[in-house]
Each structure stands twice: as C-alpha cells, then as structure tokens.
Chains A and B, each alone.
Chain A
Amino acid sequence: MNIPALHISLLLLSSACAVAQPETPAPGKGTDSARVYHAPEVRVEARTILTRVSRGTQPRAIITRAQIEAANGFDLSDAVAYAPGVFVKQYGGVGGLRTISLRGTSAQQTVILIDGIRYRSSADGGFDFSNVPATAVEQVEVLRGGNAALYGANALGGVINVVTRAPAASGMALTARGGYGSYGQREIGIAGNGAAGKQTWDAGVNATATNGNYPFSFNEFGSTSAFERDNADFSNYFGRGGWAYRRDDGLRLSASMQGYRSERGVPGAVVQGNREQLRARLDESDLFAAAAASWPTEKWELSISASGRLNALGYRDPDARIAGPSGIDDEYREREGSIAGRGRRAIGEHGVAEGTVEFSQTHLRGDNLDPALGSVASRTSLSGAAATNWLYQDGLFGCETAFEAGLRLDLFDDLPTALSPSAGVIWRAGSTPLRLRAHGGLNYRAPSFAEQYYLNYGNANLRPERSASGDLGATYEVGETFVLESSFFMIATRDQIVSVPRSPVSWSAANVEHVLSRGIELGASGRLFDGLLGLRASYTLTRAEDRSGGTVDGKLLVYAPEEVANGVVDLRLGRYGIGTGWQYVGHRFTLPANDPASALPRYGLLGANISARWVIGGVGVKARLECSNIFNTEYQVVRNYPMPGRTFLGRIEIDFHEEEQP
C-alpha cells in the first residue's frame, strides 16, 4: 500500500468509526457515563498528577500490570513500548541502554514521573528504562503530546508516569518470585504491601541479572559467521518502599523511596573487523525519595511535596586510548531536590482551579566537565503555574463540553525565562459514546548539563528548545469495556539541540535544528467476554522531519520510524493464563540524508507465555513460561547493535494474602 492510500484509509477509518481519544482505561462498571471523561478515581493523590486538573483533552494510554505480564515485560521499557506513539531505542538485549522516543521526539523531550512526582535528570536529560524492573511497576501511564504548562520542562513529546506496586486494600500481601532463562537471565524478588488501620505500606526488593552472551551472525570481509555478544552482562538491584497515612478529616501523609544499583558491560557497535568497548563498564547508583502531605479545607485542598535524588555514575573503558594509556575512568555525581506547594479548589459544581509554586536545585560534579565550572554544574529554578478546568453541561445540542487551560512560568539562574501556556477542550454529544477533543500548547526543554558543560562538547550558550504542539482526536466506546481511539498530532520544535561538528576534530552541541513531527495514532483496548479476553492494539504513523533548511531539509530524523505498531492479548481461563505480545517497527534511517543504504529494515517480533496458578493451603503458587522473539528474528534497533534471537524465561511466583482482622 502506498502512503497516500494509507492516509486515505486511516482518514476513512477515523471518520467512519469515530475511533478516538485517550486510551483511557476502558470505563468500568459503575462509571458515571455523563462524566466518563473525568479523571478516574485513584487512591493515592500523588499518583493522579496526569489527571489532577486535566479533563482528558490529551490522549493517554494506560498499560496495566496484566498487559505488562502478557507482553513478557522484563523492564520498564517493555511496558512503555505498548503505548501508541512510542518507539523504544534499544542498544542490545536485557541490560542494553534503552531510551524512548514519543511521537518522533528525542529521549530528552519526555518527562518521567514516579508516582506522579517528577524524576529529574539534568545531567543528560534522559532516562534509562532498563534500570526499573517490570515487577516493580503496577501500571504505566503515557500521556502523549506536549504540555509543559502542567508538567514542566521537557514535556515536548509527552509524559510518562510510572505507578509502582499498589498497597493492599486490607491486611497484608506478600509475593516472592524467581526466574531463570536464556543466556543466564535470572531474577529473584520479594514484595509486600499491606494496610493497618489508617496506614498503608508497600516494600520490595528485586535482583535481576544476565550474562547477555547471546549469539548473532555478522558478515565481515565477505563471509558471514556466528559470534557471541561479549561484555553484555548486566546486574541490577532494585528496592522501594512506601508508606501512607490518611486521617478521618482527610489529612494525608505519604513517603516513598526507591533506589537501584546496576552494573553492566557496555559493548559497542559491531563493525567489520572490530567489536568495540569489550571492556567498557557502566556502574550506576540511584536513590529517589519523595514525601507529600495534603489536607482539605472547606474550599481548598492544600498539599506540599518534596523530592530528592542522588545519582552516582561511573564509566570506565581501559581501551579508550583517546583518553590516554589507561583509558577512560570518569565519575559523575548528581544531586537534585525540589519542593512544591499546591492549592486547589472547586469552582462551582463543575470547575477546578489549581495553583502551584515549585523550587528546585540540581548539582552535578564530574570528571569531564568544562574546567571553567570547577567541575561542578548547578541549576536553580523557581516555577509558578496555574491551571483550571470547567464543564458545561446541557449545552448546544445537549452536549457536554469541558475546557482546561494552564500557564506556567519558569525562572532559571542560568537560562532565559520560559512561559508555557496550554488549552484543551473535550466534547461529547448527548449520550453518544463518541468524544472529540483538541489540545494545544507551547512547551520548552532546558539544555542538559551534558549539552552545556561536557568537556570538548558542551556549549554554555545553548538556548532552551521551544515547541508548539497540537492534538486532535476522538474516542469511541464500544460497550462498557472496549475503547477505540484515534489522534492526529503535530509538534513543531525550534532550536532543537543537536551535535554539530565545529571542525574535523571537534563536535559541539548547538541550537540548529527545526523539527516538525506529525502523525496519526490508532488504538483499541479493553476486555471482552466478561473479562476473559484482554486486548490492546495500536498503530502509529509518524513523519518526524528535519526542517532546518539545507541539504537535509524535509528528510526524516534519524531513528524516527514512520510506522510503529504493537498489540497485547491475554486470555484468562480459570487457573490458566495465556498472553501474547506483538511489536512491529518500520524501517528507520540512521543517517540524515536518508540514503536507502542507511536504513535499518523493519522488523516484527512475537512473544507468548503461558501460566498456571494453584492455591495450596492459602498460598498461591504461579508457574509461568515465556518465550520472546518466537520466530528468532534477526534485527537491530540501532545500527550495528545486534539484538537477541529467541529467548525463554521460566518464572515461579508465590503469593500470600492475609485479610485484616476485624
């Protein structure tokens, strides 16, 4: 099918079926259909940031725990990959660096939240999804489209909120698990949560590791041979704990902490005659803590939250002679903290207004920063934001219309002031299952410290990236448990920061590129047959183009596939469960000129699993067998970084749930 034909087909599909909207979780039983587009009720205030003052004018996908398991999810990237508009850039198998591109944007242009609290990284602006095990995740919310007004800097492509395992509703629950699979992949973990009176808690530790020595074939000097991926081992120790207290008068206190330590080999590209970085190692330790308090008054709900993060990263490559006979041995230490106060009040029966003030500070100390900094980079910011939404009922043609708007002002000690407005609307005609929505906003991204201060690369004079984004979409509910959705989006970014050679021997970060990303997303999700069959599918067609002028004007950005599609199906049959997940990624160019020879071919992957659970003496025992890349597809996501073929993983899980005594 050619591209025009595809566009026409998609247009017809959108209009005829009125597919649409945010991939909200399928509305459950008891949902007030007149308010169905309101934020779903959630238990923990900190987890609601994506919907706190939003009426759902932007598309939002929720990947549930069941879907993560059905898709053989091993780390956080495996969960995020099943949202529309997401492309996961992987540099290898388990343990390979994994970053995401949302709607054709860069990895730095998406905000990451942990339970609704911003997880910052001013050092490089990115986030490695391989460091968070999937077992620590209850669900992932992916909000697509720019909205710096509500979520702050970097929200050009969207926002990802990682919701950690939920506390038990009552009593205490414990789960222990272990697994072993191909190429020495292994995991062991224990997690518990519980409730006692007005308090709830959750805690867990998880250890994962792999030898990573999967085979691959490679052609060099005219002959194809089998090789084994070397230096691809990975180990990760992850732990988290959370506590919450809710008083009868509504006062709520909560605190949580999570951290990980990972060690991995960082094998480089496989090129003819060379396997690079065979002794390169990356060690990282990270500790993130957050606390929040909220209390309602007669008209207001006030809250205060604070978060802090410590990160230490070490990179060593004794063979990197570019740094001398002993190679590279760099250490970076980052500490970040923020405190925010928020007030929220109702406006009449159908409106909400919220104001926020936030102060944050970041320090990075590293071996390879601009000497003029004294090896320390820092940034202080003060932000103020206001947001509101309101609902008109019984309007034109008996419809309901909800509006939302936000405005954020960010003041930095080292960057220009940023002002970010946004506005959206969602409309529903009478009692029809169709909802239409529109959203637009201006957004920005502050340069990372690496882009500003990394020795021989950084550019202290960088300006923040600015973007304008727009989104149109619709949602169509099929029955009570199934949703079809579609979206059209556009993100125009100026001053995009890219690496530019300054001479044959030096490269530097610069604000040079204008980028236009636009596309269509289609999705379907829900459960059928009384919950027996769960289904999620999405298809995204994106064109992310360089619009900087010159020789590559109009060309696709590198590693920005035009097509990404995926799906998950899970079937529950009493004690047995079957799950399967598909992923399809179209070709992507690896060089700006889009020379066909620089294109990596499209690939499709299929995984499946089967599980069974028994209850023996009040203790649940679940056995599970997973197979990923069933057809043993040879593929690369990033050029010259081979990915593993077919792998197997067996898991055993034991769970115990003690009900609270009356």
Chain B
Amino acid sequence: MSAIARNIDTSVRKGVTTRLCGMSLMSALLVFALMMAGCISDPAITSPPVVNAGAHGVLVVNEGVWKQDNSTLTFYNPDSGGPVQDYFAARNPGLRLGDLGNSIVAWNGRGYIAVSTSRAVEVIDLATGHSLGRVRLNAPNEPRMITVIDSATAFVTTFADSVIRFNPITLAATGAFPVGPAPEGIAYAAGHLFVANSGLGNLRRAEPKAGTISVLDPASGAELMTLPVGTNPLSVQYLPSRNRVYVLVRPILPDTLGAVVEYDPVLLREVRRWVVAGGYDMAVDDARGIIYMMRADGVARIDPSVATDGVSNPVRLSDAGGMFYSIGVEPVSGDLYLGTTKGYSSVPAEVMIFDRAGIVKSRFACGIYPGDFAFY
C-alpha cells in the first residue's frame, strides 16, 4: 500500500473524513468554487456607433489620463446635435488615439492631432474621420502643438526642446531644430515661426531661453532671435486680421499674474501687453479681431482695437457651474466652446457653448479632460 493510501486509510478510520462530510464539506467546496471562478462578470464594453460625420462639425481632443492610453476624440455637429464619443475608434476599428492627446489643428480637410506621450501626430480625414496615417517621432520627442504652413511644411513643438518639421501630406519628418526649454505654442506669421519656450513653469525657469519666444526661419530652421516674454509662455496665436501674434503667459502661482503679449511679426518686437491674472488658455476670433483668455473665474475678452485695456468678462465661472479646462472659438459664429473638467476627477466631462455675450447656448458631453478644439 502506498504512503498516501496508508495515510488516507488511517484518517478515515479516525473519522476525520466523516467529520468533513455534509454541510461543512459543502462549504469548503463552495469556497473553492468561488475561488476558482468568481461570480461577478467583467463589465461589458459597448462600442460607439459608427457615424458619418459629414464635412462640418467640431472635434474635441480629450486628453484622457496620463499612462492610461485613453485619449479620445468627441465629434459634435452643432446643427444636428448629439455628440459621438470616442469618434476616432468608432471610425477606425482596431485603432485608438493613444496617450495624452494634446492639441488638434484643422487644415485643408485634414485634422492633425498631437498625441504627446504616444509620440505621434495622428492625421485624419475630417469629412470621414478615417485615419490617414501618422507621424511617428523618436524618443524623447513628445509632440505638443502644431502649425501647418503649406502643403509641404508643418511644424510641431516637442518636449525634447525642439521643433520637428514634417510634410503634412506625406507625413515624413524632414528636420528637427533646437529651441528653448519645453516649447509649447507655435504659430506661423509673416514668414516667421514663433515658438513659446515655456520652461515648464517653475521647473525649468532658470534655464537659458526659458520664458522667451524663439523666432525661427521656417525654411532653414535657424533661430533668428529670441524675444523675452515672461515666465511660462504657453499659447501662441496669429490674428491675420490684425497681423499680430499673441502669446499667453500662464501664471505660476503665487508669484506671477500672467499676461497676453502682442507682437509685431514683421518687426519682431513687442507691441503691447495686457497683464490679466489667472489666464490658463487662449483662443482668437479672427473674424471679429477678439482674443479670449480662459481664467480660473471665467473668460476674459480682450479687444486689441481698443486703446484702453479693452478687457471684459463675458463669461463668469459662477454662471457656468463648472471648472474650465480649455477654450475654442467657432470661427463663423464666434461662439465660445469651453471644456470643463467636472472637478478634475478624471471623469467624462462636458463642453459648454456660449454666445459672444456670454449666454449659454448649449452643452454636450465629451471625454476626460477636453483639451483642444478643431472647427471645420
């Protein structure tokens, strides 16, 4: 008789097995059954409906949460209403946007989306939402903001302290050019490329060129000069109707206020500066020549055509009942699109639409941390 058989036999005779019978044994077996399989199913994921967007609408880039790989697009048609969530995945089965979509630019029927941590500029056909390919960047380049100059030249800033030039049609990278620390906003005006060297606020503010605007020759990539602007310049916008470049200097609390700075893109000099506290994001209404600055307490409206400060507040946070995260201006109507964050709790959020007088016109649901808008 084997050892195990002898032991079992002995145990049975001692009555151990008998004492394990019945309800107690059933209990143990049930525990084991639960242990092996569990009872609660995984939540079902419902795929978003596949829709035809048409040639007109708004795309919202939802950043998602860092390291979650869950950046998404929300499509919204102001005429038909009804947002489509995770639009990129819906129109491109098997694809996802990636980690931390940061900005979007609409150009010539195409949308260019800088997906930072994924080191990619994703390109879609705006009419269909279909992916047209992507520009893959090598480490450590993480794309931030994009400007498209023409059918052969586009630039994107990267956190590798450089700007990358690429062909917006072939999507081939054609050059990399050094600028200051942590470049963010970028705009092309009057033959010059303007790049905001943010210095990441306080973190790299002591480094050379932090808090400046690098002015580049887009043909050669050479840095022509740097313009001092102040700590933490973020957004750079060109207003063709006034032929001026505007830079948002985001405040570093508690020691700076923040500002909007106006530059002459031809003479390459500062023209004017509005010191306005608490500006986080900026958008321009070229048709009406207005600058909007999103602040902690609402939206500041700046009319550069007014000789006095020209600052007013059409939208107040108390009116909106949310925490603003981003701002965009619909170019035809001049409506303001404000992305909210639902209290920064990493939950799907909402975009609120205001008219130019600051009256709420509509609102629609979006993804987590709506960071930028493209109108087409």
Q: Are A601 and B27 in contact (CB under 8 A)?
A: no
Residues of B within 8 A of A567 (CB): 32, 35
Q: Mark A564-591 against chain B: 1 for CB-CB distance below 8 A, else 0.
A: 0111000101100000001010110011
Q: Are B35 and A538 in contact (CB under 8 A)?
A: yes
Q: Are B8 and A582 in contact (CB under 8 A)?
A: no
Residues of A within 8 A of B11 (CB): 528-530, 532
12 A-B contacts, Cβ less than 8 Å apart? A1-B39, A13-B27, A220-B118, A271-B99, A272-B120, A479-B19, A482-B20, A535-B28, A551-B342, A567-B32, A597-B45, A604-B36
Residues of A within 8 A of B68 (CB): 271, 590-591, 598, 639-640
Q: Mark A507-543 against chain B: 1 for CB-CB distance below 8 A, else 0.
A: 0000000000000001110001110100101110100
What is the bound-complex CA distance between A522 and B347, given in angstroms? 34
Decide if B79 is an interface residue (CB 8 Å cutoff): no
Question: Within the complex, what minimum Cβ distance (angstroms) separates A606 from chain B?
Answer: 9
Decide if B95 is an interface residue (CB 8 Å cutoff): yes
Decide if B91 is an interface residue (CB 8 Å cutoff): no
Q: Are B27 and A17 in contact (CB under 8 A)?
A: yes
What is the bound-complex CA distance between A225 and B46, given in angstroms? 25
Q: Are B96 and A276 in contact (CB under 8 A)?
A: no
Q: Which residue of A lies closest to B100 (CB)?
A: A271
Residues of B within 8 A of A551 (CB): 342-343, 345, 347
Q: Mark B143-161 against chain A: 1 for CB-CB distance below 8 A, else 0.
A: 0000000000000000111
Q: Mark B85-98 against chain A: 1 for CB-CB distance below 8 A, else 0.
A: 00000001011101
What is the bound-complex CA distance between A504 and B201, given in angstroms? 12
Q: A324-B181, A325-B207, A639-B68 are in contact. List 11 more A-B contacts (CB 8 A).
A: A1-B39, A6-B40, A274-B118, A479-B20, A501-B341, A501-B344, A523-B31, A552-B347, A587-B40, A591-B68, A598-B70
Q: Are A321 and B182 in contact (CB under 8 A)?
A: yes
Of residues 96 to 120 in B, which have CB atoms within 8 Å of A's CB atoms?
Answer: 96, 98-99, 115, 117-120
Q: Are A271 and B346 in contact (CB under 8 A)?
A: no
- In the complex, which range does the number of interface residues on chain A fall in? 35 or more
Given A13-B27, A505-B201, check contact A271 B69 (CB 8 Å): yes
Q: Are A596 and B24 in contact (CB under 8 A)?
A: no
What is the bound-complex CA distance between A324 and B8, given in angstroms? 68
Residues in B lying within 8 Å of A, measured CB to CB: 3-4, 7-8, 10-11, 14, 16, 19-20, 23-24, 26-28, 30-32, 34-40, 42-46, 65, 67-70, 92, 94-96, 98-99, 115, 117-120, 134, 136, 139-140, 159-161, 181-182, 200-204, 207, 250, 253, 280, 296, 325, 341-348, 368
Residues of A within 8 A of B38 (CB): 563, 565, 584, 586, 602, 604
Given A319-B140, A551-B345, check contact A584 B24 (CB 8 Å): no
Q: Are A273 and B40 in contact (CB under 8 A)?
A: no
Residues of B within 8 A of A595 (CB): 348
Decide if A42 is an interface residue (CB 8 Å cutoff): no
Question: Within the complex, what minimum Cβ distance (angstroms) separates B301 from chain A?
Answer: 20
Residues of A within 8 A of B115 (CB): 272-273
Q: Are B159 and A321 in contact (CB under 8 A)?
A: yes
What is the bound-complex CA distance between A498 and B347, given in angstroms? 15
A273 in complex: contacting residue of B3, B28, B120, B344, CB < 8 Å = B120
Q: Are A565 and B35 in contact (CB under 8 A)?
A: yes
Max chain A CB contacts within 10 Å: which of B20, B28, B94, B204?
A: B28
Residues of B within 8 A of A504 (CB): 280, 325
What is the bound-complex CA distance between A9 and B202, given in angstroms? 57
Decide if A373 is an interface residue (CB 8 Å cutoff): no
Decide if A550 is an interface residue (CB 8 Å cutoff): yes
What is the bound-complex CA distance between A541 and B201, given in angstroms? 46
Q: Are B24 and A476 in contact (CB under 8 A)?
A: yes
Question: Within the complex, what minimum Cβ distance (angstroms) separates A231 from chain B?
Answer: 13
Given A271-B118, A551-B347, check contact A599 B42 (CB 8 Å): yes
Q: Which residue of A lies closest to B10 (CB)?
A: A530
What is the bound-complex CA distance between A522 and B139, given in angstroms? 49
Q: Are A593 and B346 in contact (CB under 8 A)?
A: yes
Q: Which residue of B lies closest to A323 (CB)?
A: B203
Residues of A within 8 A of B14 (CB): 530
Question: Within the complex, what minimum Cβ distance (angstroms) separates B195 from chain A?
Answer: 16
Residues of B within 8 A of A17 (CB): 23-24, 26-27
What is the bound-complex CA distance between A268 and B139, given in angstroms? 14
Q: Which residue of A lies closest to B26 (CB)?
A: A17
Residues in A lying within 8 Å of B, measured CB to CB: 1, 3, 6, 9, 13, 16-17, 19, 220-222, 268-269, 271-274, 276, 319, 321-325, 456, 476, 478-479, 481-482, 484, 500-501, 503-506, 522-524, 528-530, 532, 535, 537-539, 541, 550-552, 562-563, 565-567, 571, 573-574, 582, 584, 586-587, 590-599, 601-602, 604, 639-640
Given A323-B203, A503-B253, check contact A539 B27 (CB 8 Å): no
B99 in complex: contacting residue of A19, A222, A274, CB < 8 Å = A274
Q: Are B96 and A272 in contact (CB under 8 A)?
A: yes
What is the bound-complex CA distance between A504 and B278, given in angstroms? 12
Q: Which residue of B lies closest to A479 (CB)?
A: B19
Q: Are A272 and B204 in contact (CB under 8 A)?
A: no
Q: Which residue of B lies closest to A575 (CB)?
A: B3
Given A478-B24, A479-B19, check contact A222 B344 (CB 8 Å): no
What is the bound-complex CA distance between A598 and B7, given in angstroms? 50
Given A321-B182, A478-B24, A529-B7, check contact A13 B120 (CB 8 Å): no
Residues of B within 8 A of A522 (CB): 27, 31, 34
B347 in complex: contacting residue of A272, A532, A593, CB < 8 Å = A593
Q: Are A587 and B42 in contact (CB under 8 A)?
A: yes
Residues of B within 8 A of A324 (CB): 181, 203-204, 207
Question: Within the complex, what minimum Cβ distance (angstroms) separates B290 from chain A?
Answer: 23
Residues of A within 8 A of B343 (CB): 550-551
Top-5 shortest CB links A-B: A273-B118, A565-B35, A501-B344, A596-B43, A269-B67
Residues of A within 8 A of B65 (CB): 591
Q: Are A222 and B346 in contact (CB under 8 A)?
A: no
What is the bound-complex CA distance between A595 and B345, given in angstroms? 13
Residues of A within 8 A of B134 (CB): 221
Q: Are A601 and B8 in contact (CB under 8 A)?
A: no
Question: Within the complex, what minimum Cβ distance (angstroms) separates B11 from chain A?
Answer: 4
Q: Which residue of B lies closest to A505 (CB)?
A: B201
What is the bound-complex CA distance between A539 and B44, given in angstroms? 24
Question: Within the complex, what minimum Cβ distance (angstroms) separates B283 from chain A?
Answer: 15
Q: Are B31 and A506 in contact (CB under 8 A)?
A: no
Given A563-B40, A591-B346, check contact A271 B67 (CB 8 Å): yes
Question: Within the complex, what minimum Cβ distance (angstroms) separates A454 from chain B?
Answer: 14
Question: Within the complex, what minimum Cβ distance (angstroms) separates A82 from chain B?
Answer: 11
A322 in complex: contacting residue of B37, B96, B200, B346, CB < 8 Å = B200
Given A274-B119, A598-B68, A640-B67, check contact A3 B40 (CB 8 Å): yes
Q: Are B19 and A271 in contact (CB under 8 A)?
A: no
Q: Are A592 and B7 in contact (CB under 8 A)?
A: no
Max chain B CB contacts within 10 Å: which of A9, A272, A503, A639?
A: A272
Question: Within the complex, what minimum Cβ distance (angstroms) separates B82 from chain A?
Answer: 19
Q: Which residue of A lies closest to B206 (CB)?
A: A324
Residues of A within 8 A of B117 (CB): 271, 273-274, 276
Residues of A within 8 A of B118 (CB): 220, 271-274
A524 in complex: contacting residue of B4, B27, B99, B348, CB < 8 Å = B27
What is the bound-complex CA distance between A351 and B182, given in angstroms? 68
What is the bound-complex CA distance between A523 and B27, given in angstroms? 9
Question: Within the complex, what minimum Cβ distance (angstroms) separates B299 from chain A?
Answer: 15
Q: Are B67 and A276 in contact (CB under 8 A)?
A: yes
What is the bound-complex CA distance between A552 and B348, given in angstroms? 11
Q: Which residue of B lies closest to A273 (CB)?
A: B118
What is the bound-complex CA distance between A584 and B343, given in angstroms? 35
Q: Which residue of A lies closest to B137 (CB)?
A: A273
Residues of B within 8 A of A596 (CB): 43-46
Max chain A CB contacts within 10 Å: which of B4, B14, B115, B182?
A: B4
Q: Are A582 and B119 in contact (CB under 8 A)?
A: no
Q: Are B345 and A19 in contact (CB under 8 A)?
A: no
What is the bound-complex CA distance between A323 and B346, given in angstroms? 25
